[in-house]
Structure formats: structure tokens, C-alpha cells
Amino acid sequence: MKKGPQILFYVMLFILFISLFRMLSTPPSEQLDYSKFKSLVASKQVKDLVVTQDMIRGVLVDQSKPFRVVRVTDDDLVKNLEAAGVNYRGEISDNWLKDFVLIWILPIIVFLLIWSFIIRRMGGAGGPGEMFMSFGKSKAKLYAESDVKVSFNDVAGVEEAKEELIEIIDFLRYPDKFTKLGGRIPKGVLLVGPPGTGKTLLAKAVAGEAKVPFFSMSGSEFVEMFVGVGASRVRDLFQQAVQKAPCIIFIDELDALGRARGTGMAGGHEEREQTLNQLLAEMDGFDARKGVIIMAATNRPEVLDPALLRAGRFDRHVLVDRPNIKDREDILKIHARGVKLSTNVDLAILAARTVGFVGADLANMVNEAALLAARKNKTEVEMTDFEAAIDRIVAGLEKKRRVMNKKEKEIVAYHECGHTLTAELLPTTDPVHRVSIVQRGIAALGYTLQLPTEDRYLMTKSELQDKLCVMLGGRVAEEIVFNEISTGAQNDLQRAADIARSMVKEFGMTERFGPLTFEKERRPLFLDVGLTGGAKEYSEETARQIDEEVKRFINDAYGKVKEMLAANQDKLRTLAAALLEKETIEGEEIRKILGLPEKKREA
Ligand code: ADP
Ligand code: MG
Ligand code: ZN
């Protein structure tokens, strides 16, 4: 809230009180009985009389002191005054102002005071002052240029996100350079990632790097009690921002506001929808060339209204992922800058011990360690303090989300390496771009990312069979190394079964059925989509045969992979050891570790 209007409000209140007080307190005059007054008139001891409908005021001659008398019905008053030769005048008593103040102003003031008291007690920042001065005005804090002191140096480990944001910074710094060439500048950038990975920090750093003002507001702040307030806040926010362009508008927790329309609980979503509609309208309405970039952050992109993600809105998505071991070390370095470390502290070891921690956890850990050391009156923070801090935070995290233990981590590493090695050994599969055992999202414990070397429109039977092999590779590796299988392969098996079923039913790739398809409608060749369950148009016997064929595809692939990985166990173990150490390995390095050549396809 701005300071100005608040002070103005209190000044007004003060003035009102003063005038009220003066009006209500009668001047200090002596009250006389009417009979006394009458005798004073007779003896000419009064002067300067003012006669109103119900009062007579005047001054006592000998004491030159004011007095007042309540009038009683006295038809002879004027006659008596004339007889005594006292100077007098009439006056219409004007009580309307007093009445007005008493009946209208005073109750309102009392009401406002009580209201402001209640709002304060409820923890709200505003009061009646704000109520009047800025009803519906956005609470967006304006971080003046010098206020944003965060730079990319304060954010570690999100290199890919930084790379994508550099373009935005460039644009904010030199908008002319871009607009001269007529290029379309992105309006909206959505930062997506788990909580605590530094999305808010990153948005601020962009403003800091570009040296532009930073308007920030949380999605939940837009959604208020009163219908229409959120929408007018959005309008106001954009108005303010356009005046300060180039600048950044940052909407934190976009999901609070941008949840898909029509899915909310009863009550309250009316307001949210209005606010969301206003946001969409504003985003479409303003000219990106003015240099206003809208950034938003969310950890639940799946609940967002699709309209928000359409072209011209938040069409650019930047993934802010969990840090891997190297990233964690870098983040620790940043947060240990202001901390006195003992020489026995090794940040690399700490990074290795904090699998699953995000930036916020690490910052928290450093702080916790410093507090622990201070409690023990140490002059430096030692390794033992950090270890105690880790234990404490892990205990907290294990309740909230899964942190893998050592054994699980090993299983996941071998599983992912199984996928990777299979993909690299087979001739037709896409090369592996990255393999990681850093958790991504809620379900996946690790991931193997393959990127095609070219656009594909068709897939051959042997390519599909190889794809099956890669999917089964994870489970096969677990079986070979641990002689045991885990639940981690469930998703792989599901996808493998889908592909095998499609090969049999849709693509007619079996010898038994020949070029026969059992699917009425042809689906696009997008194989990762689950099978659509339609009405069966074949006999039970055929269904059984289809199942057999599917099983055969899977079993053949499984046998092939098992043979292949068993023959390359040394490679599997080397890669898994490297992955356990580094947590994420990029494609080139994978091939270096495995001693395999770069994959190329002839055109
Ligand atoms: P998010 O918005 O993604 O939930 P925040 O940006 O609020 O996360 O991060 C909270 C705090 O955690 C930051 O203020 C910072 O101290 C620390 N932090 C998180 N990620 C990083 C990072 N990548 N580098 C440095 N510090 C980080
Ligand atoms: Mg945040
Ligand atoms: Zn897998």
C-alpha cells in the first residue's frame, strides 16, 4: 500500500474529530435560571443578548461573563427587553450541522475504525484507508530499478532456463533492436517446475539483469472476496506496467488464478473466472513491442486453463528442473557466501548427500547449519553442523515427498542405464540425449531422454521392435544386475504393451494375420498414446490370438535385450557407476563412457 493516501486519510480523520469536538462542546458559559435572568434584565445587568428559538445567550454587565438561559414561553420577553433598553438580536439556531455530524458522520467513523481494527486483527494489510483510496487497485509492489539486486549470479544450476531467458533480457534491454526488424517478441513466459527450484528467484534475476522494474503479484492475491476486484486489479496492474515499460510483470502461482474454467468448486470461481478472463483480455490487448514481458510461475501446469497457453499468451515454457549433484554444489556455494565455513566443510560431499533437495531446501540447510553452530557458540560452521541440518531437513522432506535412499537410487540408476545402453546399441533407435536419476515430476524417478535425429513420418517394423527393446531395457537391467525386479518399470511395460498391441491390431505386422487390421479408425502414428478402447469387431478366438501375438512381440524383444545387455554387462556397470556419481549425463558423454560412436542415419 502506498504511504501517501494513508497519511491523507488520517489527517482527514483528525480534522473531522477536531471540528466535531468543537461543535459539540458548548463555550464555557454559566447557565442561569429564567427567573434569575428576568430579574437581571429588570435591573439592566445584561447586554449583547442573542435570542434563538430555545436559548438566550448574553453577557453579564458587571462580570463581563457570558451566560445562557433556556427559554421558556414568555410572551412579554421582548416587551421587558425593550423596557430595560437592552440591546438584543434574534438568531435561527442552526443545529443541522450538528445533527448531520451526530447522525451521519460519527457512526461512519466509528464503523470504519472498528472495521480497520478487525481487518488488522485478521492479518490483512489494508484498512479502511486503503479501502477508499485504492479500491480494486493492484497491490503490485513496484520494485524500482535499483531494488532488484538479484542477478543470474544468485541463481545456480538452471542453465537451460537461463539460456532461454537471456533472449528476454536482451529484448528488455534493447527493445528497438528487435522491433526494428519486425520480429515477434514473446509476450508471456511460463516458468514450470517443482516448488523451491528457484522460479521466483529466476524471474527476479531477469529483471535484475535487464535493469527494468519488476511488478510481482501472486495469483492468489488476485482472487479476493469481492467479485470484480480481481479483474480490476489485473487491469490496474497492466496500466501501471505499461507506464513503466520496459518492465516485467510476474504472476507467481499462476495456477491459483488460471485453473481451467468451469472446474472449480461451487462458490468463488465466478470471481476467479472473471479475473482470468480479464488477464486473457489484457494479454491480448497490449502491444508486446512496448517492452512489457509477462512472466508467470507454476508447479502445476496441468491444471492451467488451455486458453492461457495458447499462442500470444504464455506460449513459451521454461522448465526449471530439480538440481543435479553439480547444480547442488553451485547452489550451496551461493548460499555459503555469507557464512563462515570451517576448513573441514566440503560442499561437494554435501551436494552428494542431498539427493532430492531443491534450491530452497539447500538454502534452508545452510541456514539451519549456521543456527546450529551458533547455538553451540562455535566461531565457524563445521561439517557436523551441516550433517545435523541435513538429517533434520530430510526428516521433514520424507513426510512431504519421497527422497530416494541409496538402494533405490542404485536400482533407478541401473534401470535408466538399461534403457540408455539398449538405445545406444540398437541400430535404428533414436540416440540418447540425456539420462538422469534426478526426479522429474511426481511419478518419474529417473528418465532417459531420446531425441530423434530427423523428423519421422513412418516407422518400420524393425524400428518398432527396437523401440520395444528400449522400453524393456530398464527392467532387463534390473533383472541382470540385482536378480530381482522392482515396481519402477510399470510405466515402461504399459507403453511397450501399447506399442505391441498397435503393431498387431492396427499395423498388420504379424505373420499370423498378415496385412489385416482390426482397428476401424486409423489413429495417427503417435505411438505413445494409449490405446482407445473401441467396440470389438472380431471373435473371442481372434482376441485370444491377438493377445498371443502381442505376447510374442514382447517376449521376443525381452529375450533380445536380455542377451544384449548380458553381453555388455561391463558397459552397463561403468555407465551406472558414472550416473550414480553425476546423476545426469548428457548424450555425448554417454557415448564416450560407453566407447560407442555417434549415431548417424543416412538420408
Ligand atoms: P520457487 O518460486 O520455484 O518455489 P523460489 O524462487 O521461491 O522457488 O526459491 C526459494 C529460495 O530458495 C530462493 O529465495 C533461494 O534462496 C533458494 N533457491 C532456490 N533455487 C535456487 C537456485 N537455483 N539457486 C540459488 N538459490 C536458489
Ligand atoms: Mg515461488
Ligand atoms: Zn524405465
If you measure from the C-alpha of residue 416 to the centroid of ligand 3, how many angstroms do you get, rounded to a whole number? 6
Query: 79-111 burial string, b = 16+ CB within 10 Å, else e?
Result: eebeeeebebeeeeeeeeeeeebeeeeeeebee
The ligand whose atoms approach the alpha carbon of 331 most closely is 1
Going by their DSSP bridges, the two strands 188-192 and 316-319 should be labelled as: parallel
406-529+536-594: CATH topology is Methane Monooxygenase Hydroxylase; Chain G, domain 1 (1.20.58)
Residue 103 per-residue DSSP state: I
R_g of the chain, CA atoms, integer Å = 39
- State the pLDDT confidence band at 288, using cuts at 50, 70 and 90: low
CA of 90 relative to ligand 3 center, distance in Å: 101
**CB-hemisphere CA count at 13 Å for 504?**
20
| 320 CA: nearest ligand 1 atom | 3
Using the mean position of ligand 2's atoms as its centre, give its distance from the Cα of residue 195 in Å.
Answer: 7
State the ligand closest to the CA atom of 155. Answer: 1
Q: Which residues line ligand 1 (CB under 6 A)?
A: 155-158, 193, 195-201, 297, 331, 334, 359-360, 363
In the three-class reduction of DSSP (H, G, I as helix; E, B as strand; rest coil), residue 55 is classed as strand
Nearest ligand to the CA of 358 is 1
Q: Which residues contact 155 (CB under 8 A, 6 or more apart)?
A: 162, 198, 201, 202, 205, 334
* 444 or 596, higher pLDDT: 596
Ligand 2 center–CA 142 separation, angstroms: 17
pLDDT digits (tens, 9 = 90+) for 3-35: 455 676 777 778 778 777 766 665 567 888 888
Closest ligand 1 atom to 157 CA? 23
Three-state DSSP string of 362-396: HHHHHHHHHHHHHHCCCCCECHHHHHHHHHHHHHH
Domains of the chain, by residue range, sit at 141-319, 325-395, 406-529+536-594
The pair phi, psi for residue 575, each rounded to 5°, is -65, -40
Q: What confidence score (pLDDT) does residue 24 get? A: 66
Q: What share of the chain has pLDDT > 90, as a percent?
A: 24
Mean pLDDT of 81-105: 78
pTM confidence score: 0.56
CATH of domain 141-319: 3.40.50.300
Atom of ligand 1 nearest to the CA of 323: 23
Nearest listed ligand to the Cα of residue 193: 1
Give, for ligand 1, the residue of 201, 206, 335 to mutate: max count of ligand atoms closer than 8 Å to Cβ.
201
Q: How far is CA 522 from CA 330, 390, 505, 507, in A?
A: 50, 54, 11, 9
Give, to the nearest 10 degrees, the angle between helix 159-173 and helix 199-210.
30
CB neighbours of 316 closer than 8 A, spacing ≥ 6? 164, 186, 188, 189, 190
Which residue's CA is minimally distant from atom 27 of ligand 1?
A: 359
Counting every residue written for the chain, the total comes to 603
CATH code of the domain made up of 325-395: 1.10.8.60
Cα 423 to averaged position of ligand 2 atoms, centre (Å): 37
pLDDT tens for each residue of 94-153: 667 777 777 888 888 888 888 877 776 654 444 444 444 444 555 555 544 557 888 999
Q: Which atom of ligand 1 is nearest to the CA of 361?
A: 12
d(CA 451, CA 598): 13
Q: What is the 3-state secondary structure (H, E, C) of 198-232?
A: CHHHHHHHHHHHHCCCEEEEEHHHHCCCCCCHHHH
Closest CA to 435 of 444, 354, 490, 361: 444
Per-residue pLDDT tens over the stretch 398-423:
555 556 778 888 999 999 999 999 99
Ligand 1 nearest atom to the CA of residue 156, by list position: 24
* Max avg pLDDT among 39-53, 65-79, 570-584: 570-584
The pLDDT confidence band at residue 524, using thresholds 50, 70 and 90, is very low
Q: What is the dihedral sign for C-alpha 9, 15, 17, 20?
A: negative
Cα 480 to ligand 2 centre (Å) = 43
563 tagged catalytic: no
CB 231 within 8 A of CB 277: yes
Residue 528 has pLDDT above 50, yes or no: no
Q: What is the pLDDT of residues 305-322, one digit of tens each?
A: 888 888 888 888 898 988
pLDDT at 44 over 70: yes
Q: Is the pLDDT of residue 521 over 50?
A: no
Average the pLDDT over 447-463 and give the result.
75
| Separation between Cα atoms, residue 98 and residue 90, nearest integer Å | 20
- The active-site residue, picked from 271, 273, 416, 478, is 416
